[in-house]
Amino acid sequence: MLCWRRLCREMRERGLTGDPVARVLRNPSGFRVTARDDLSGRPATRTQAAIERRRRQMDKAMNFYLPIAEMSVNVTIFLGMGAAVGFISGMFGVGGGFLMTPLLIFAGIPVAVAVGTESAQIVASSVSGAVAQWRRRNIDLTMAAVLLAGGMVGAALGVRVVGALQRIGQLELFVTLCYVTFLSAIGTLMLIESYNEIRRYERDKRVRLRSRAHHNWIHRLPFKIRFQRSKLYISAIPPLMIGAFVGFLGGIMGIGGGFIMVPAMIYLLRMPIGVVIGTSLLQIVFVTAFTTVLHARQNFAVDIVLALALMIGGVVGAQFGAAAGEKLRAEQLRFFLAILVIFVGLRMAWTLVAPPGEVFSITSGTWGHQ
Amino acid sequence: MSAATGWARALFVSLVALGLLCTAAEAQQRRQRAVPVPVPGQSQQPAQKQDPNAPLSMPREQVQADVSTRRVAVTSNFTGIEIVVFGAVDYSRQPSPEAGYYDVVVVVEGTPTRLVARKKDRILGLWLNAESVSFQKVPSFYAIAATRPLDEIASEDVLKSSGIGFEYVPMTLGKGAEGKSEAEIKKFRDAVVRLKRKEKLYSEVEYGVSFIGRSLFRASVDVPANVTVGPFDTRVYLFRNGELLSRYTARLNLEREGIEQIIYSAAVRFPLAYGLLTVALAMAAGLLASTLLRRAG
């Protein structure tokens, strides 16, 4: 309740004159007068004001306005994200797009911008690996060219689909469903395979090579090409199809697609393990570069400031990750990677299944057109 | 029980007594003010000198206002801004700043943008975006500051006709609104307001306007960093006893500036070049990092 004496004292102290009754009527709680400085409406106590000022200063130092995502963010979050994902990608030798895009979406970046920007970051993280493989001549150029041709067609289609889904408001659903499907499928396969490998290793302490089936349906397709570096003479259709499929997923999900491409090259095309990594890296660099340009051109969805923050974090994180990865055996790494992949898949699935706290959502500005 | 009722009755009686006293005091003041004798040493005198044809009773009050910064630059370290709106009541009859004679409402309205509100529904066990209503124009920012709570200042009709209050935020419907009932659209409208309030883009400050002098008042409005750039309208309303006396509109502009502006316009005007540039930057960053770290390692 109102305290008359306190109010009078307060007014006297601050040199305010006038009719206390009218003042109280205007400001009935009475305490509002005491709790706030009347002229500015700001918190009156010194500590509160100091905390406020300090918070603003801190914000000012680390805040960046993302011109395309149209939001102001604390850049340390994205540097940290880049470093964490870079660490994992360095450790497991994967691009990390499948981790980064969901993280960006969770952080509130519009889905289209997350996908478009992440493809730019994958270019940066794959290019150094590709150059290293190039120096070691571990690349089948003919195969890379065929995959790339397919990849560009797939990416162009994927970017178009992103634009169309964005307009009807179902992009988030589609991206989430893609993630759930592919991450859980690939994760489960990897988990089973690496688990068997670990058990076999522990049983007879030696790594066995898989027995290869020498002829399957792939070898009966037309348009055969000789892939010299891979020592293969197979039809161009399967690599084209694989390239297109991975390119399409890259366009939609903001991933490089190495975790699909590599198993496909080993098990479907039967390429020698030595050239698989280099060839897929080279292909990923060019397809993601192409995807980035398309996202920028058609959906205006590439944020260069965000991409730069992710790149800087990623490059640093990858170095530490690579060092950590050398301490683990390949099948152990695959086992942990599989668990990680499944976890991200489940986390994405949870957003679809869990009852949302707020059933309404709004998209405005550039990202709200329909 | 009886003691409690006794206290309540005493409280009620004293409140009524206080109310009566105040009404009497105010009536007294008004009577004093109604006498058209200029108070010596007050600012009314020059105003009357300028206008010799003025009637004996004072002219109707008018409000004027302006904002502290007419142009706000949104740069890379934009963390929001506090806009100070200050104004004056011409021919103020207010005896003192604390009298509470006038009510002032300041409405700051941001650039209208397109907006889609979507509602999730459970379909086949999954929560999916189902219904949506798109709005052609929704103010990206809407802040109200007033001398006291809005419902005490004026009736709903008056507020509605002036577009003051969250229920009366001007929103133009777009596609997808046909065939939806009034009540359904209202749900989406309310959701927009609720979500915007959560983002601090819509706000209301009761007691956010204060009089500094008999006619001079000021209000401050916080604009958060996630605001959409563009022209802002600042509307100032002057009320007296629930009646709108005068209104005034001032404008300010939020503009992208510096590197932000360059990046944004490049991305929109030359998207192909912008995309190629991003890729070139990414490749350069990757190669630079690998060479630097190779040397270090």
B107 touches chain A (CB under 8 A): no
Inspect the interface and report whether the beta carbons of A72 and B114 lie closer than 8 Å. no
Determine which of A14-18, A305-309, A349-353 has the lowest per-residue pLDDT on average: A14-18
Per-residue pLDDT, B237: 92
CA torsion A199-A202-A207-A213 (nearest 10°) is -30
Highest mean pLDDT among A88-97, A211-220, A338-347, B175-184: A338-347
* CA–CA gap between residue B83 and residue B253 (Å, rounded): 11
B124 touches chain A (CB under 8 A): no
* CA–CA gap between residue B105 and residue B118 (Å, rounded): 32
A311 touches chain B (CB under 8 A): yes
Nearest to B130 by CA among A110, A359, A162: A359
Q: Which of residues 40-69 of B touch A (CB under 8 A)?
A: none
Across the beta sheet with B243-256, the strand order is B71-74, B243-256, B230-240, B103-109, B142-146, B202-205
User: ipTM value of the model?
Assistant: 0.71
Place of tokens 């600042």: B234
Sign, CA torsion A352/A358/A359/A360: negative
Per-residue pLDDT, B140: 87
Per-residue pLDDT, B143: 92
Compute the count of residue pairs across chains A and B with CB atoms less than 8 Å apart. Answer: 238
Chain A residues in contact with B289 (beta carbon < 8 A): 124, 128, 315
Q: What is the pLDDT of residues A155-167, one digit of tens each?
A: 999 988 988 888 7
Alpha carbon of B13: minimum distance to chain A alpha carbons (Å): 15
A319 touches chain B (CB under 8 A): yes
Per-residue pLDDT for A174 more than 60?
Answer: yes
Q: What is the pLDDT of residues A255-314, one digit of tens each?
A: 888 878 888 888 888 888 778 888 888 888 999 999 999 888 888 888 888 999 998 888
Inspect the interface and report whether the beta carbons of B267 and A294 lie closer than 8 Å. no
Q: pTM of this prediction?
A: 0.69
Distances (CA, A) of B137 to A39, A43, A368, B10, B129: 35, 35, 11, 53, 21
Where in chain A does DSSP place strands (E)? 63-66, 71-74, 224-227, 232-235, 360-364
- Quote the tokens at residue B9: 């009755």
* CA–CA gap between residue A314 and residue B285 (Å, rounded): 11
Per-residue pLDDT for A2 more than 60?
Answer: no
Per-residue pLDDT, A349: 87
Q: Environment class of residue B172 by beta-carbon count within 10 Å: exposed (0-12), middle (13-18) or buried (19+)?
A: exposed
Per-residue pLDDT for A102 more than 70?
Answer: yes
Share of chain A above pLDDT 70, in %: 76
Arithmetic mean of pLDDT, A330-350: 84
**Which of B11, B79, B292 is best to mutate for the A interface (most A CBs within 10 A)?**
B79
- Quote the tokens at residue A104: 């960006």
Per-residue pLDDT, A248: 92
Determine which of A86-90, A239-243, B45-49 has the lowest per-residue pLDDT on average: B45-49
Per-residue pLDDT, A13: 67
- pLDDT beneath 70: ranges in chain B: 1-57, 176-177, 294-297
Chain A residues in contact with B129 (beta carbon < 8 A): 169-170, 172-173, 361
Inspect the interface and report whether the beta carbons of A65 and B78 lie closer than 8 Å. yes
Per-residue pLDDT, A136: 82
